[in-house]
Amino acid sequence: METWEEVTFAGYILEPGNAESYKTGDWRSRQKPVINQEKCTFCLLCWIYCPDGAIIRKEGEVEIDYYHCKGCGICAYECPSGAIRMRSEMEGE
């Protein structure tokens, strides 16, 4: 990461729209959602409920965007078919 000589003047952000490159998923602590694709019925409730838009809708299945997921667990709580489980971060993806 940048040293004090390398960071921008007074911390100004000089490129517009750079929130896109801000990896907020590293705020996640302890647990993350993992999808069992075999149980998933593609009802898309998780996609609707996710407060961070971290569920990516793909052809016939959903995927978690760990780059932005904060690990809140709402998707797992709402999933009617028990396809999403919260697992420890330590278990690997």
Partner 1 sequence: MMARKVLALNGDEAAAYAVKQCKPDVIAAYPITPQTIIVERLSDFVADGELDAEFIAVESEHSAMSACIGASAMGARAYTATASQGLALMYEMLFVASSFRLPIVMSVANRALNSPLNIWNDMSDTMGARDCGWIQIYNENSQEVYDFTIQAFRIAEDHRVLLPVMVCHDGFVVSHSTEGVEVLSDGEVDSFLPPRDPVYPLDVEKPVTIGCVGVPEYYPEIKYQQEVATKKSIETIKEILREFNESFGRSYGIVEEYRTDGAEVALLTIGSISGTAKEAVDEMRAEGKPVGLLKLRLFRPFPIEALRKSLSGLKVVGVVDRHISFGSCMGGALNMEVRAALYEMKDRPHVMGFPTGLGGRDIRVEHFLKIIDELLMIAEQDALEEEYKVVGCRGPGCIGP
56 lies in the binding site for partner 1 (CB under 8 A)? no
**Which amino acid belongs to residue 7?**
V
Burial class (CB in 10 A: 0-12, 13-18, 19+), 50: buried
What would the x/- binding string for partner 1 be over residues 15 to 44, using CB under 8 A? -x----------------------------
| Phi, psi (rounded to 5 degrees) for 29 | -130, 150
Collapsed DSSP state (helix, strand, coil) of residue 78: helix
**Size of interface with partner 1, in residues (CB under 8 A):** 14
13 or 90: CB nearest partner 1: 13
5 lies in the binding site for partner 1 (CB under 8 A)? yes
